[in-house]
Amino acid sequence: MTGMLGNTVKVAAVQAAPVSFNLHESLDKVSTLTTEAARSGADLVVFPEGFLSAYPWRYAFDATIGAREPRGRKWFAKYYNSAIAIESPEFQILLSIAKANKVILSVGIIEKDGGTLYCSAVLIGRDGKLLSNHRKLIPTAAERLVWGRGSGDGLKVVDTDIGKVGGLICWENYMPAARLALYQQGIEIWLAPNADDLPSWTASMQHIAKEGRCWVISVNQFCKVSDFPSDYPPFTPEHYDRQPDGSAWTPDAILNHGGSCVVGPLGVFLAEPLWDKEGIIYADLSRDTLIESRMDFDPVGSYSRPDIFSLHVNTKPGVNVVLKE
């Protein structure tokens, strides 16, 4: 528990939707909700996957095997333009939100770098400085048409004044080797921004908390069709996509039911899953419970066998070309 501020830390998981495809209005929402959480005493505020500025529900940008359509390219350009670059004035706004509220801030972003988009999670310190940027290692299913793949340099655990903080995005959490890489770095507060509202997901969060003997903050969006532009292709009447019951999409139709929660290091909920509404859930993390949980299990200590098992992690940046003078 190196560097932990006091014996108890208050964390906040923000279950909300962005103003999809609108970066500046989504940044305003980050600011408003972060301020609300900070005024409630939160030391750490966590936002869901793809909050800046959209998780593109039910749309693969009209790409099929062997063909791409003009409409999809136009919408991809809109998506790119609503994404955020690390070196940009918009990112400076995000840094300033953390600094103004004196919180550690984690936000799921769609990061643009060159011509590629990445699904990333950034961690920002109370002083408004970027602590880490983790790009999703493997986009899931049709996400691979839209997002690039991250590299091992983003598998970091940061030692902060509230403890050692790191995490994985959505289904990366099902990658055993990635989890072990974070356990080995002594992770204490595990951040899991995601887009999975299935009941089995919350069970996975309990498993990771108990396996890693760490706190897990699972944070998901609650979003509806009305959170997207009115001309967003999947939800227009002429599009083939339909609700599970076969009916056309309506503005109030729910796309993601949420389920954000906080789990303690013995796999027990500290904040129960929140379903079917926006909200901020809070939990107090007590240092003593973390120490107590490791009495009988430590995945990279007392309950590891390095003489039998080993893992090698390539932490080099994923750069194809290195220019030398």
What residues are paired with 147 via a beta bridge?
Answer: 117
Tokens of 37: 């959480």
* 49 catalytic per annotation: yes
pLDDT tens-digit profile of 238-252? 898 999 899 999 999
Catalytic residue among 156, 164, 170, 224: 170
CA distance 298 to 180: 11
Helix (H) / strand (E) element for 72: namely helix 70-81
In this structure, of 4-8, 125-129, 141-145, 171-175, the range with the lowest mean pLDDT score is 4-8
The backbone torsions φ and ψ at residue 245, rounded to the nearest 5 degrees and listed phi first, read -85, 5
Catalytic residue among 29, 112, 136, 164: 136
pLDDT of the residue at 177:
97
Phi-psi region of 61 (alpha: psi -120 to 50; beta: other; left: phi over 0): left
CA distance 124 to 121: 10
pLDDT tens-digit profile of 71-117? 999 999 999 999 999 999 999 999 999 999 999 999 999 999 999 99
pLDDT of the residue at 3:
47
The mean per-residue pLDDT over the stretch 153-167 comes to 97
Q: What's the chain's average pLDDT?
A: 95
Q: pLDDT-derived band of residue 324, with 50, 70 and 90 as boundaries?
A: confident
C-alpha distances in Å from residue 308, one per residue of 297, 304, 311, 312: 18, 9, 11, 14
Does 4 have pLDDT greater than 90?
no
Catalytic residue among 29, 49, 119, 143: 49
Domains and CATH numbers, the chain: 8-296 (3.60.110.10)
- Note the pTM of the prediction, 2 decimals: 0.95
pLDDT tens-digit profile of 180-210? 999 999 999 999 999 999 999 999 999 999 9
Does 6 have pLDDT greater than 90?
no
Tokens of 180: 């072990």
pLDDT tens-digit profile of 24-73? 999 999 999 999 999 999 999 999 999 999 999 999 999 999 999 999 99
